Amino acid sequence: MRNRNTNTILRGVSILFLTGALVITITSLIAYSRQRNNYPRGMTIGGVPVDGLSPAQASQRLLEVYTTPIQAQYDQAVFYIDPGSVGFQIDMETMLAAADLSRTGGSFWGGFWDYLWNRTSSAAQIPLSANISEERLRSFLEAEIASRYDQPPAPAQPLPGGTSFLPGEPGRTLDLDRAILLISDALRSPTRRSVVLSFNQSSAARPTLQNLEILLKQIISASDFDGLIGFYMMDLQSGQEIHFAINNNQEIAVEPDIAFTASSTIKIPIVASYLINQGSDLDTATADAISRTLGKSDNSATDLVLKRIDEANGPLIVTSNMEALGLESTFLGGMFYLGAPNLLPNRITPGNSRTDIFMERDAYSQTTPAEMGILLADIYHCAQNSGGALIAAFPDKASPSTCQLLIDFMAQDKLGSLIQGGVPDGTLVPHKHGYVTSPQDGYVHDISDVGIVYSPGGNFVLSMYTYHPVQNIWDVTNPLFVDLTKATYNYFNITSQ
């Protein structure tokens, strides 16, 4: 009886244990099946944790992450970029398929066995699959960012009432290629959703040539000079020119350019003609005569140079040489000694044929601001690089060494006023100035200066001629020349003004 009871108890306990084990197994199986329907612990899709989530929930989380706008900073500006607006799309179908394959690809019962023993295998890391339209991103950056936030460099501006320029502002332009790379990386990152965009900074632009011309005209207008001034400047690097004339504060046309009395500036064509026709192998006497011609403006030395060109027809040869260079209004009719015959009486040129200009010109020598400036530019380019009209017109006679010799002689004119008065000490300014006293009234009516200015910021030619019908007062005209030169020098040397 007792054994029967014992067996019954054992049978009941066994059934109880088996029932419990079955319940636990079924419960675990149900729990595992539910877990298997979701992504396993540690799984990421595109860098986003999705463990415990269903495919639908994972899809929603991925969209929340990858549709978050990108925060971008460009200098001080902050803005947001909608991923969809630049063509960014994640390939949800491909990523979920890969995740599902990882989730369901193993043995069900093997996975259940691991589940029962709480053994976890390494979860798969599904990489991001996404597409981005670089073309749309570039277009967006150009249209919405660069066009709005780029800053072009602001040129230096003339300082009203002075000879200097207010400094300009540097510019900035978005580095598009770098921006595309940074934003593309941010769009593909689940956590780094902000970028700082780089840009290229450009130095402040130089003032335009028009800015300089405006300043020069303002200087003339503000001065006490009320006569006629012809102004010519050439940038020897670019060949750009400024050319204008003002008569009693009214701008007048410069086509054809206005002929002025050449006075001593004609000595540059004289020495140029000598070197062209006689060569640069100078004896001591000739070198001394040329030095006194250009350095001291000695008229007797000038006549000696003319006679060495040709005893009787030196002035005509000078004029012919200038015509060969295309300088139609530049001529010399005679020697400098008192009573010298005029070999070109009543010479008619484009420059002295204008009917709107009334002035007393020297019948012996005339030129125009542009023609003398162009001649200096030709001399400069001949010396620098065998260029210019001198080499073209006289290929067998002109040479860089000849032209450099002429420039060296011009540098001996150490006036210290006019053009030379408007540049810093030590600046090389080969030039020739001129003025002449009228034999009729004893007054100076013409003052001129032409020269080549060598400066750190660029070399340039200045050619300035003035005429006043009553009296050309030095204390008015010299400061004007100085200020015009200062303004031009400062234009070429903004950083050192």
- What values do phi and psi take at 243, rounded to 5? -145, 120
Cβ contacts of 414-420, under 8 Å, gap ≥ 24: 414/295, 415/449, 417/478, 417/481, 417/482, 418/447, 418/449, 418/464, 418/478, 418/481, 418/482, 418/485, 419/449, 419/450, 419/451, 419/453, 419/462, 419/464, 419/481, 419/485, 420/451
Q: What is the per-residue DSSP string for 419-481?
A: TGGGS-TT----EEEEEEE-TTTS-EEEEEEEEEE--TT--EEEEEEEE-SS---HHHHHHHH
Give the number of other Cβ atoms within 10 Å of residue 488's Cβ. 26
Of 262, 267, 309, nearest to 413 (Cα)?
A: 267
Cα maximum dimension of the chain: 172
φ, ψ for residue 315 (rounded to 5)? Answer: -60, -35
pLDDT at 109: 46
For the chain, domain boundaries: 209-496
Q: Which residues contact 265 (CB under 8 A, 6 or more apart)?
A: 367, 372, 432, 433, 434, 448, 449, 450
Q: Which token pair is 74? A: 């460009």
Judge whether 243 and 213 are in contact, CB under 8 Å: no
Q: What are phi and psi for residue 365, nearest 5 degrees? A: -150, 130
User: What string of H, E and C letters represents the secondary structure of 384-434?
Assistant: HHCCCHHHHHCCCCCCHHHHHHHHHHHCCCCCCCCCHHHCCCCCCCCEEEE
Return the half-sphere exposure (C-beta side, CA atoms, 13 A cut-off) of residue 50. 34
What DSSP string describes 99-159?
HHHHHHSS-HHHHHHHHHTT--PPPPEEPP-EE--HHHHHHHIIIIIIHHH-BPPBPPEE-
Q: For residues 172 and 151, is the Cβ–Cβ distance under 8 A?
A: yes
Q: What is the dihedral of CA 160, 162, 163, 166, to 10 degrees?
A: -50
User: Going by C-beta distance under 8 Å and a sequence separation of 6 or more, which residues neighbour residue 257?
Assistant: 230, 243, 245, 329, 350, 351, 368, 369, 370, 371
Which position has the token pair 């620098």?
384
CB 335 within 8 A of CB 365: no
Side chain identity at residue 331, one-letter code: F
Q: What span, in angstroms and rounded, lies between the C-alpha atoms of 461 and 376?
A: 7
Q: For residue 313, is it left (φ>0), alpha (ψ between -120 and 50) or beta? A: alpha
CB-based burial label for 266 (10 Å; 0-12, 13-18, 19+): buried
Q: Please, which residues have CB within 8 angstroms of residue 303's CB and are 6 or more apart in sequence? A: 335, 336, 337, 340
Tens-level pLDDT at each residue, the chain (497 residues): 556 667 677 776 677 766 666 656 666 555 544 555 567 777 888 889 988 788 888 889 999 999 999 999 998 899 999 999 999 999 988 988 888 786 664 444 445 455 455 555 556 788 999 999 999 999 999 999 999 999 988 888 888 788 988 888 888 999 999 999 999 999 999 999 999 999 998 887 778 899 999 999 999 999 999 999 999 999 999 999 999 999 999 999 999 999 999 999 999 999 999 999 999 999 999 999 999 999 999 999 999 999 999 999 999 999 999 999 999 999 999 999 999 999 999 999 999 999 999 999 999 999 999 999 999 999 999 999 999 999 999 999 999 999 999 999 999 999 999 999 999 999 999 999 999 999 889 999 999 999 999 999 999 999 999 999 999 999 999 999 999 999 999 999 987 65
Q: Does domain 209-496 have CATH number 3.30.160.270?
A: no
- Tell me the backbone φ, ψ of residue 70, rounded to 5 degrees: -85, 130
